[in-house]
Structure 1
């Protein structure tokens, strides 16, 4: 059987040693274990941790991953360029062809509306000049000096 005995050093030279702590030697081992924590360093970033993983991944796997990422980035870049060109073609075509066409259709609609209005005004003037199609109501005596259809100027 083994007997464990705690020995305290009382030598003066040992107290000047940089490896001794002010606490007793019995608690120094537990203090040193508790001081070693698993918490990450406050200054270490996520990017630093990823960079440290480079040594874990074999070079062939790293090459495969980087080539696949580069291929995917190239695919998205060329696809985005193609979509951008198509959008440019559609918008310039709409501006060069569609806008003048829409403006001319709007002008033609205005002209048609003006023609209808003028036709309605002409028909209204003809109805005012023509004798009334309806007979005079019974009991009323039409007077000859009563004027019909006088429109003040400016109307």
Structure 2
């Protein structure tokens, strides 16, 4: 069984500070106690301290469910970004190891094909000039053919 007893404060320094020790009416003492509570707030309290104090408003079960949802979402995002990074790494290294040599070989093949076309054009031009029947360059007017031999003279001479 619990026994309740009233304890009187005998120390005079605490008697004046307590809102409960005043001898005034209850209406006055309640206003005194309200005003004294408002002035007890520490002046150096930051905004983050006030936000942290709000956690007591939310029940523990709700805090726990919010905390688990936030942590599971964070872990899901972390796994997702890690997988995306691995995928990007695979694609870029594959492109460098396979695509770059392939592109270089295709470029070399195109150069070889261009050189072959140029050489073929040169050979055809030389054959046409040697055949005598048709020349790449027209005969200048006034040039006479002597003895059936045709001389090869470039234009402008």
Q: TM-score, normalised by structure 2?
A: 0.58
Q: 1:42 to 1:121 in 2, by over 3 A?
A: farther
Per-residue deviation, residues 76-105 of structure 1 (Å, max 9, x unmatched): 011111111111111111111111111111
Once the two structures are superposed, the pairs formed by residues 86-125 of structure 1 within 5 Å of their partners are 86-125=87-126
Using CA pairs under 8 Å that are at least 6 residues apart, name the structure with larger relative contact order, 1 or 2: 1
Matched, 1:50 2:51: yes
Name whichever of 68-77 and 123-132 sits farther off. Answer: 123-132
Closer, same or farther in 2 for the Cα pair 1:124/1:146, shift >3 Å?
closer
What is residue 152 of structure 2 aligned with on the other side?
148
Q: 1:132 to 1:61 in 2, by over 3 A?
A: same
Unpaired segments of 5 or more residues in structure 1? 1-32
Report matched runs for 1:1-150 at 5 Å: 44-45=46-47, 47-133=48-134, 140-144=142-146, 147-150=151-154
**Inter-partner Cα distance in structure 2 for 1:143 and 1:43:** 115
**Number of equivalences:** 110
State the alpha-carbon separation in 2 of the partners of residues 142 and 42 from structure 1.
115
**What are the superposed Cα offsets for residues 20-72 of structure 1, whole Å, 9 maximum, x if unpaired?**
xxxxxxxxxxxxx9xx9xxxx79733x33321211111111111111110000
